[in-house]
Amino acid sequence: MTPEVLGLLLIGCMLFAIFIGFPISFTLIFLGFVFGYIGFGDLVFYLMTFQFSSVMLEQTLAAVPLFIFMGILMEQAGLMERLFQAVQLMLSRVRGALFIAVLFVSTIFAAATGIVGASVTILGIMAAKTMNRSKYDVKLAAGTITAGGTLGILIPPSIMLVVMGPILEVPVTDLFAAAVIPGFLLAFLYTGYALLRCYLNPELGPVLPEEERAESMGHVFAEFCKGLVPPAALVFSALGSILFGLATPTEGAGMGAAGALLLTLAYRKLTWKGMQDALVKTLEISTLILFLVAASNFFGAVFSRLGTPTMLTEYLLMLDLSPMLILFLIMALIFLLGWPLEWVPIVLIIIPILLPLIDQLGFNLTWFGILVAVNLQTAWLSPPVALSAYFLKGVVPEWDLRDIYIGMMQFMVIQVFGLLLIIFFPQIALWLPGVIYGN
Partner 1 sequence: MAIPITWIDWFSYWVGMTVCWLTVPLFGAMVYEVVARYAFTAPTMWAYDISRMLYGALFMLGAGYALSRGVHIRADFLYRNWSVKNQGRIDAFLYIFFYFPGLIAFLVMATDFAYLSWMRGERGMDTAWMPHMGPIKTALPVGIVLLLIQGVSELLKSLYAATRGRWPTQ
Partner 2 sequence: KTVIRVQSVIPAKADEVTMLNDFGANVSALTNGEVEIKVLPAGAVVGVKETLEAVDKGLVEGGFAWTHYWSGYHPAAMLFGSPVAGAGVGIDNIAFVSWYMYGGGKALYDKLWKEMGMNVKGLMLQPVGPEALGWFKEPINSMADFRKYRFRTPPGIPGQTYKDIGVAAVAMGGGDILPALEKGVIDAAEWCCPKPDSVFGFQKVLKHYYLQGLHQVVVNADIYINGDVWKKLTPHQQKAMEIAADASLMRSLSYRIYENGKALKDLTENHGVILHDTPADYFTEYMNAAKATLEKNAAENAFFKEVWDSQKAFADVAVPFWAGAQMSNASLGMAHAKSLQKK
Would you tell me which residues interact with partner 2 (CB under 8 A)? 43, 46-47, 50-51, 53-54, 57, 59, 156-157, 159, 162-163, 165-169, 171-174, 176, 244-248, 301, 304-305, 344, 348-349, 352, 355, 437
- Write the binding mask 92 to 131 for Na ion: x where contact by CB under 5 A, - elsewhere: ------------------x---x-----------------
Q: How far is the CB of 340 from Na ion (least distance, A)?
A: 7
165 binds, among partner 2, partner 1, Na ion, none (CB under 5 to 8 A by kind): partner 2
* 329-to-11, 27, 294, 333, 352 alpha-carbon distances in Å: 20, 31, 30, 6, 16
Which of partner 2, partner 1, Na ion, none does 233 bind, CB closer than 5 to 8 A by kind?
A: none
Name which of partner 1, partner 2, Na ion, none residue 69 binds, using a CB cut-off of 5 to 8 Å depending on partner kind: partner 1
Query: From start to end of 334-379, where are the E strands?
Result: none
By CB under 5 A, residue 307 contacts Na ion = no
Nearer to partner 1, 66 or 89 (CB): 66
Judged by beta carbon distances under 5 to 8 A according to partner kind, the member of Na ion, partner 2, partner 1, none in contact with residue 173 is partner 2
Please work out, in degrees rounded to the nearest 5, the angle formed at the alpha carbon of residue 421 by the alpha carbons of 417 and 426: 150
> Would you list the DSSP string of 218-252?
HHHHHHIIIIIHHHHHHHHHHHHHHHTTSS-HHHH
Shortest reach from residue 187's CB to partner 2, in Å? 20
Of 60 and 92, CB closest to partner 1:
60
Biggest CA-to-CA distance, the chain: 73
352 interface partner picked from Na ion, partner 2, partner 1, none, CB below 5 to 8 A per type: partner 2
Distance CA 380, CA 377 (A): 6
- For partner 1, the closer of residues 17 and 370 by Cβ is 17
Q: Which does 56 bind (CB under 5 to 8 A by kind): partner 1, Na ion, partner 2, none?
A: partner 1
Q: How many CA atoms lie within 13 A of 161 on its CB side?
A: 32
Question: CB atoms < 10 A from the CB of 37, how many?
Answer: 14
Compute CA distances 256 → 70, 199, 243, 259, 299, whole Å.
Answer: 6, 36, 13, 5, 33
Rounded to whole angstroms, what are the CA distances from 409 to 144, 378, 389, 418? 11, 9, 10, 14
29 Cβ contact list (under 8 Å, min separation 6): 48, 295, 298, 299
307: left (phi over 0), alpha (psi -120 to 50) or beta: left
In a 3-state reduction of DSSP, which class is residue 408?
Answer: helix
Partner from partner 2, partner 1, Na ion, none contacting 172, C-beta within 5 to 8 A by type: partner 2
* Site of interaction with partner 1 (CB under 8 A): 18-26, 29-30, 33-34, 42, 45-46, 48-49, 52-53, 55-59, 61-62, 64-66, 69, 241, 246-247, 250-251, 253-255, 257-258, 276, 279-280, 282-292, 383-384, 390, 393-394, 401-402
Q: Which residues bind Na ion (CB under 5 A)?
A: 110, 114, 152, 155, 158, 339, 379, 382, 385-386
